[in-house]
Copies of this chain bind each other. A is one copy, B any other.
């Protein structure tokens, strides 16, 4: 195979992936936004499975490896994007082929069962139900570490799967810093009697929809290259580079839920919209990592969307649309959108406490993989760690060890990405603020300067660089969680002291 043949072959596979992904994304969008007739589930599942199988069989075919190996022998003649493509394909291909096919098959059927068992275990508060599944899932993931290979801790192999280049060493250091600086603050707030005022509804849905449009205008989410849907569980999905859709759910009694889901998903969507279109041809038109994607949504949601400047521009909108804000001032709103309090449920956690929920999961996963603890110890250890880190002890498994679907879905090593994303967000924000007056952009209700910096330094590059390298180019240094911890400490000390 010549170099040119190899590039053509991968380009052709990429073209197929784009079309197949578009179809799969539309199937997902259609189901989530307009519902699926119950009796059509089987045929729909078969079609979706066929489309996935087409992607899969093109990827695992022997000619893929031949193309990769050909291009690896020409590395010096490849441009930056071609090299990144070969790195990505080579890594994914070898990882896939490192796992015995019969193991993959058995794991897939295990996980297919485990999800519904997890649901039942959660509903009936019966950990013993899911225990044998977790045993097998963690045992498989332990073997996965050996198949994938690792240099330091076996868990590195799992981390790397979601967050290229992430290690136990860097995560341990990050979380040690959080423990040291944030845990005492959270305990202080838990004991504090400062209670920010609650927003009072009703918030008519038509007005909330107008607010969504206003948010799109402010943030720079391009509605001409996307669409806004209403769903049960909000998400962002890329149909094509120029059709990136966000979704939200409106609650008449809660304005903040939809407001911050829109800002969050807009952060993801702007990242997707700002990627260079030419990356699609190299299969590099995606976030640099799961955490990097999350960094963009959380920066917009929390660091910008819960800033003093944002409270200032938001309040007049709320006053104009809803009755309950007549006697509110900026500071009251700022405090109301920054309520922090120790809680049980990760996905409902506030900006300050969120990462502590992640630490619990990370420490348990790591100890399970290294064999220091057993699955049967999880419920007790979970409760102990919540008490230690957040000062609360879950009253049930639904509010404790069984709250997340991840383990039942076979995802081990995924959680840390959320925390890493938060830290990258603060690191970018710190670097950006040297150049861009972020608060002024917010006050001008036009984040173009902010998004301009992010596009230039992060978004447009897609997966051309690994996360750490992308951060280094954008900020002058690799992953550094100090900015994040510092940001949290200052913000929440000021709010609650």
Binary flags per residue of A366-403, CB closer than 8 Å to B gives 1, else 0: 00000000000000000000000000000000000000
A270-328 contacts to B (CB < 8 Å): none
Q: Quick check: is A226 within 8 A (CB to CB) of the other chain?
A: yes
Q: Return chain B residues, CB-CB under 8 Å to A195.
A: none
Q: Return chain B residues, CB-CB under 8 Å to A44.
A: 22, 239-240, 243
Q: Return chain B residues, CB-CB under 8 Å to A30.
A: 26, 29-30
Contact B43 A241 (CB under 8 A): yes
A1-47 contacts to B (CB < 8 Å): 15-16, 18-19, 22-23, 26-27, 29-30, 33-40, 42-44, 46-47
Q: A40-B240, A40-B242, A242-B40 are in contact. Are A19 and B225 (CB under 8 A)?
A: no
Contact B227 A39 (CB under 8 A): no
Q: Quick check: is A224 within 8 A (CB to CB) of the other chain?
A: yes
Q: In whole Å, how far is A228's beta carbon from the nearest beta carbon of chain B?
A: 10
Q: Return chain B residues, CB-CB under 8 Å to A229.
A: 34
Q: Return chain B residues, CB-CB under 8 Å to A19.
A: 46-48, 50-51
How many copies of this chain?
2
Q: Return chain B residues, CB-CB under 8 Å to A223.
A: 37
Binary flags per residue of A215-226, CB closer than 8 Å to B gives 1, else 0: 000000001111
Contact of A240 among B47, B224, B225 (CB under 8 A): B47
Q: In whole angstroms, how far apart are the Cα atoms of A243 and B44 in the complex? A: 9
Contact B37 A224 (CB under 8 A): yes
Q: Return chain B residues, CB-CB under 8 Å to A225.
A: 37, 39-40
Q: In whole Å, how far is A302's beta carbon from the nearest beta carbon of chain B?
A: 28
Q: In whole Å, how far is A216's beta carbon from the nearest beta carbon of chain B?
A: 13
Binary flags per residue of A324-335, CB closer than 8 Å to B gives 1, else 0: 000000000000
Contact A47 B22 (CB under 8 A): yes
Residue among A43, A48, A225 facing the most chain B CB atoms (10 A cut-off): A43
Q: In whole Å, how far is A206's beta carbon from the nearest beta carbon of chain B?
A: 14
Q: A23-B27, A36-B243 are in contact. Are A50 and B226 (CB under 8 A)?
A: no
List 9 A-B pairs, Cβ < 8 Å: A18-B47, A19-B50, A22-B27, A23-B27, A37-B225, A39-B224, A40-B242, A43-B242, A44-B239
Give the interface of A toward B (CB within 8 A): 15-16, 18-19, 22-23, 26-27, 29-30, 33-40, 42-44, 46-48, 50-51, 54, 223-227, 229, 239-243
Q: Which 7 interchain pairs have the tightest Cβ spacing? A: A40-B243, A43-B240, A19-B50, A23-B23, A40-B242, A19-B47, A39-B242
Given contacts A43-B243, A44-B239, 16 further A-B contacts (CB under 8 A): A18-B47, A18-B50, A19-B50, A22-B44, A22-B47, A23-B27, A26-B26, A30-B30, A36-B243, A37-B227, A37-B242, A39-B225, A40-B225, A40-B240, A40-B242, A54-B54
